[in-house]
Amino acid sequence: MAKAVDIQSEAFIIRSFADRLILRELSDLQAVMKLSDIVERLTEHGLGLAAVRSLLASDQTKFAYADRRWVPAARLEGLGRPLHEAARLLVDRFGGPMPIELLARDLAISRTADFAIIEDQLRRIGDLDLTFITTENDELALSEWGFLATDETLDRAYALNGVDSDSVAALDTKLKGIDWRRPDAVAEAVRKVAPVHLKDLGAVAWLHLCPQDQHAQMLFNAREFLIRAFAIPGFIYGADGLLAPESMAKQWIEKTINLADRLTPEIEIEDAQPIEVKPEDVDRMVQKVLSSGDDSVTAVSLLEQFYEITPTVKTFPDDLENVINSLRADPKVWWVGGDRFRTPDSAPEIIYGVPEPFAFVPSDVQDEEGELVDVELTDEGLSTSLRRLLIHPLATDVLDEDIQPALKSLPDQLRLVLKGIHRELGTFPLCQVPTGYLSMEPKIQEMVVINPEGEAITVWVNTEARLMFGLLDWFFDQPVESGAVFSLAKRPNRPNVFDFRWEEQTDPVVFITTQRMEELRVLQEQSEAKSTLQLLQEVMGHWPKGADFLTILWELNVVRRTSRRLVASLLSSYVCFYQRSGSPVWHFDAKKVEQGFDKTKKKFIRK
């Protein structure tokens, strides 16, 4: 049997339409041993093998794995029960009106009865049993999906049907002017406000057709209302009771595929052994990679295509490793990290080095005594607080970092801060990524990054240059030029695939307002003949109450590309810069500029 997985209500709603498509095919095929049989029928809806297997294995209320075959769980649950109850279970788990012919076929299998007899009995049940209604499309639906009331009081009717009075009132306002006595009133209302909850819509109709007056005629017929609702062309019924345009089905499927990546329970299959990758298998997979042009091919997709193995299979980790190792050993394809392979040397040229704007601008300005103005100090000459800050991830950048040891425990999700220069170039430095979070091999890697809307982009990683490339479009989608915060998280069983999300916050010390960025660009235009010390003084002149080292560092870097050590050295060695006791903030005193370099720091100048 499939192992139970805790499925949240929102996820249940998202996946229910796809579950219904799968149940339709399971009932039609009677039982499925080879999943490719069912996937072939669902390809037009966008559901692949991995998604189907994941959905099957993660909801045992709908699907059952028995005798090495997948079947509707309601079929097994209905064994030994009266026909009407077995039918109710199947329709309920189906999650929408179920074709009578399909329902009869499923029940005939479980009851080893004649199909024609079962079909005839179901039609009589639909006509006589108040639990069901028969739609105009020859389907059975459950009457409980609609608003069931006649002469009840308002509060009792709402309570019995689980509807909210405020929601009904709001919907009633939107539908003002509808004549609910007309036969086409339901269709008119649905087209006006869809997507709409069927029970809320029924409540509005009931309000007008059964007014709270003991002498009024009760004209609302719940069964007739549902029959008319389900007969409206171009609309589908969702698991949360929503009657929605058919166009929403595509959105539901897309969200379901995204959800399926996170539903990875294992299924117990007898005698499961890792696959043996044979030479002829490698040849076929290599040809698949080479025929994909500029696109990469994943070992996960090759496992699915050639072996029908997905992450829900017990042997998946070993199978994936076997395929990856076999392809890495073949020189005709290029391994670009994780489980990704492509045609050799098919990556963009820009990713093979560090872009020129990251180079530090040298300064050879001298003072009146012929000494260099912009000098770096050894650690011993730096302020104690600055010495500690030099290894802060937000102080480091490409070409200006000391790679830190790997952490004993790596986080599931990274909080990353975007700086101005990287926003402009669509890059991101690996110095903010904890050592060990990404594999350092191979040197050039391809990642797939997916945002909350399901949009994916290819990001290239050069572990030698210590940079990610290819994020320009997403970085320019948000207006913050420096200090925007985003998260990055690995997807389980998807090597080198990450979830990306902008956070609703900025980093307090790296954030630079748009107005301030314009001021700093004016300084940049005037910076050519100036020392970095002069530029630092001008930057700090904006902060009469002082500023954090990281704020100073990244504002100065907008004006001139400058290393963290040089900024820390200038703050530590020129008298005009100071900190108050117990404060992390640095101050600039323009009156002390003429006092120049602190002579006691001269012995700490780096040679």
Residue 273, in any domain of the structure = no
Region class of 271: left (phi > 0), else alpha (psi between -120 and 50), else beta: left
Residue 406 DSSP class = P
> Side chain identity at 287, as an amino acid letter?
Q
User: Residue holding tokens 């595929």?
Assistant: 257
CATH code, domain with 440: 2.40.330.10
**Whether residues 13 and 140 fall in one domain:** yes
Q: What's the average model confidence in pLDDT over 167-177?
A: 95
**Whether residues 15 and 140 fall in one domain:** yes
Distant-in-sequence, close-in-space partners of 80: CB < 8 Å, separation ≥ 6: none
3-class DSSP assignment, residue 488: strand
Residue 566, in any domain of the structure = yes
Distance (Å) of CA 468 to CA 349, 398, 412, 429, 445: 13, 10, 19, 6, 9
> Can you give the length of the chain in residues?
607
**Whether residues 167 and 140 fall in one domain:** no
3-class DSSP assignment, residue 29: helix
- Is the pLDDT higher at 238 or at 576? 576
**Whether residues 458 and 546 fall in one domain:** no
Q: Distance between alpha carbon 214 and the CA centroid of its chain, in Å?
A: 54
pLDDT over 80 (residue 66):
no
pLDDT over 50 (residue 33):
yes
pLDDT over 70 (residue 171):
yes
| Residue 315: predicted pLDDT | 85
For residue 126, give the nearest of 15, 12, 213, 223 by alpha carbon.
Answer: 223
- Counting the structural domains of the chain, the total is 5
Q: How far apart are CA 563 and CA 556, in angstroms?
A: 10
Residue 396, in any domain of the structure = no
Domain containing 323 equals: 279-346
Q: How far apart are CA 583 and CA 585, in angstroms?
A: 5
State both tokens at 359.
């180079």
Q: What's the average model confidence in pLDDT over 349-366?
A: 93
CATH code, domain with 329: 1.10.10
Residue 353, in any domain of the structure = no
Residues of the chain with pLDDT > 70: what percent?
96
Is the sign of the CA dihedral 24, 29, 34, 38 positive or negative? Answer: negative
3-class DSSP assignment, residue 235: strand
Q: How far apart are CA 139 and CA 231, in angstroms?
A: 10
**Whether residues 87 and 179 fall in one domain:** no
Q: What's the average model confidence in pLDDT over 76-90?
A: 94
For residue 71, give the nearest of 122, 14, 28 by alpha carbon.
Answer: 28
Is the sign of the CA dihedral 560, 564, 569, 575 positive or negative? Answer: positive
Q: What's the average model confidence in pLDDT over 377-404?
A: 93
pLDDT over 80 (residue 54):
yes
Q: How far apart are CA 468 and CA 486, in angstroms?
A: 15
Q: What's the average model confidence in pLDDT over 381-408?
A: 91
**Whether residues 501 and 545 fall in one domain:** no
Region class of 493: left (phi > 0), else alpha (psi between -120 and 50), else beta: left
Residues pairing with 428 in the sheet: 468
Residue 407, in any domain of the structure = no
Q: CB count, 10 Å around CB of 131?
A: 15
Q: How far apart are CA 535 and CA 552, in angstroms?
A: 11
Contact yes or no for 360/398 (Cβ under 8 A)? no
Residue 446, in any domain of the structure = yes
Q: What's the average model confidence in pLDDT over 292-305?
A: 90
| Residue 275: predicted pLDDT | 83
Residue 513 DSSP class = -
H/E stretch holding 579 reads: strand 577-579
**Whether residues 387 and 531 fall in one domain:** yes
Q: What's the average model confidence in pLDDT over 160-175?
A: 95
The residue among 455, 477, 506 that closes a domain is 506
Q: Is-cis flag, bond preceding 211, omega within 30?
A: no
The residue among 346, 371, 403 that closes a domain is 346
pLDDT category of residue 264 using cuts at 50, 70 and 90? low
Residue 4, in any domain of the structure = no
**Whether residues 442 and 558 fall in one domain:** no
Q: Minimum mean pLDDT among 36-45, 233-242, 350-359, 533-542: which range?
A: 36-45
Q: What is the pTM of this model?
A: 0.62
Model confidence over 88-137: pLDDT tens digits?
Answer: 999 999 999 999 999 999 999 888 889 999 999 999 999 999 999 999 99
pLDDT category of residue 192 using cuts at 50, 70 and 90? very high
**Whether residues 237 and 170 fall in one domain:** yes
| Residue 201: predicted pLDDT | 96
pLDDT over 70 (residue 3):
no
- Is the pLDDT higher at 335 or at 54? 335
**Whether residues 456 and 422 fall in one domain:** yes
> Side chain identity at 415, as an amino acid letter?
R
Model confidence over 454-485: pLDDT tens digits?
Answer: 899 999 999 999 999 999 999 998 899 999 99
For every residue of 32-89, DSSP letters joined together read: BSSHHHHHHHHGGGT--HHHHHHHHHT-TTTEEEETTEEEEHHHHHTTTS-HHHHHHH
> Strand 497-506 relative to strand 444-450: parallel, antiparallel, unpaired?
parallel
- Is the pLDDT higher at 505 or at 268? 505
User: What's the mean per-residue pLDDT of the chain?
Assistant: 90
State both tokens at 201.
């819509």
The residue among 118, 144, 170 that closes a domain is 144
**Whether residues 174 and 306 fall in one domain:** no
HSE of 275, CA atoms in CB hemisphere, 13 A: 24
CA dihedral 373, 377, 381, 383 (to 10 degrees): 80
| Residue 6: predicted pLDDT | 42
pLDDT category of residue 57 using cuts at 50, 70 and 90? confident
> Strand 235-237 relative to strand 297-298: parallel, antiparallel, unpaired?
unpaired
The CA-based angle 171-95-128, given to 5 degrees, is 90
**Whether residues 16 and 116 fall in one domain:** yes
H/E stretch holding 304 reads: helix 299-307
pLDDT over 50 (residue 25):
yes
Distant-in-sequence, close-in-space partners of 174: CB < 8 Å, separation ≥ 6: 192, 193
Contact yes or no for 477/416 (Cβ under 8 A)? no
State both tokens at 497.
């695939």
Q: How far apart are CA 378 and CA 605, in angstroms?
A: 6
Model confidence over 200-244: pLDDT tens digits?
Answer: 999 999 999 998 887 778 899 999 999 999 999 999 998 788 999
For every residue of 113-135, DSSP letters joined together read: --HHHHHHHHHHHHHH-TTEEE-
Residue 265, in any domain of the structure = no
